Amino acid sequence: MSADPTTATPTTPPGAVPVYNVPAPGEAAEKKVDRIVVYGHSNMFYWWPVWLVCFVLALWTHLDGYQMAVVPAASEMASQVQVEGADGLRDAIVAPPGKRFPLAPDTGKPVQADMTVAGTNGPGVIFVMTVLLVAVVSTVTLRGLLSVIAIIGLVLVVVTFALLGWWDNIFRFFGGLDIRLNASGYLALGIPLFLVWAFVVFVMDRQHYAVFDEGQIMYVLDIGDGVKVVDAAASTVEKKRSDVFRHWLLGFGTGDLLVRTGGNNGVLIDLENVFNINSKLRVIHNKLQTKAIVVD
């Protein structure tokens, strides 16, 4: 039985060239995106607030202008006393008998303390709150509007109390607690953490990606793996449910992307913490729907 000439697929003429996204007559040609590369990120991506807060608190501590001295136990603080060699009455710290200040020189001359700290507990409380909050948010899924409101409320309370200087009175009421870190301490954590964060985000995470092209998907899921190529036909792409605090407040529009390829040997491509995921999804859907038109 011969095929119906009206429905038979025409053969490709010699010299034909495949052309994609051919606009209809009279329509302006849209800007063509040849392919899009989507990178997945580890949860280290969300630790930027910690190193940023370390730099801010180091500057705050430096500008506050207070110094800390290391003194032996049982040292006494005296207010407005006469100190030998000093004019007028001064506040002083007196070491117990037989004890010396560890950093005091043997020259017999007074020296200035040089350990820069903040005058209040505020910076220390903000630092502890930031580390705990980022550690919880980057590892525990927190969905729902109430959880977001509760966390934002907690952050506002901590920062407001720190700016008003209330944490000293609160800690004094609970037994004289004190949370302070000198400026070098903040930098000793902030600088290495920033370097690790930058290396992970811009180097290691770049080895975990998927490339969407017309008709195929190339992907690498583990560092050191070779590039795998699969047919994009019948593939589905979906965005997982978002964690509002992690994906929007810390990630500025990140999300988890799940790709299921078609066929009997279909694979599952899971890319977590994709930056700017919504705009990438639109491009990916257009790529998967693109059909090749053969013209002479």
The pLDDT tens digits of the residues spanning 94-107 come to: 778 877 776 666 65
Q: Is residue 220 pLDDT above 90, yes or no?
A: no
> Which pTM was predicted?
0.72
pLDDT, tens digit, for every residue of 147-170? Answer: 677 778 888 888 888 888 888 888
In the chain, the DSSP E strands lie at 17-20, 35-39, 66-68, 76-82, 89-94, 115-117, 209-213, 216-220, 228-231, 236-239, 255-260, 268-274, 292-295
Ranges of each domain in the chain: 33-42+205-291, 44-99+114-203
Residues 107-135: tens digit of each pLDDT: 556 666 667 888 888 888 889 989 988 98
Query: CA–CA separation, 61 vs 121, rounded Å?
Result: 11
Comparing 146 with 133, the larger pLDDT belongs to 133
User: pLDDT band for position 72 (50/70/90)?
Assistant: confident
Question: Which option is the CATH number for 33-42+205-291: 3.20.20.70, 2.40.70.10, 2.30.29.30, 1.10.10.10?
Answer: 2.30.29.30
Alpha helix (H) residue ranges in 101-255: 122-137, 145-164, 167-173, 183-199
pLDDT tens, residue by residue, 181-198: 888 899 999 999 999 999
Query: Which residue in 215, 232, 281 sits closest to 254, CA to CA?
Result: 281
Question: How many angstroms separate the first and last alpha carbons of the chain?
Answer: 30
Q: Is the pLDDT at 76 greater than 80, yes or no? A: no
Q: In percent, how much of the chain has pLDDT > 90?
A: 16
Q: Are strands 292-295 and 66-68 parallel, antiparallel or unpaired?
A: unpaired
Cβ-based burial of 83 (10 A; exposed 0-12, middle 13-18, buried ≥19): middle
17/161: higher pLDDT: 161
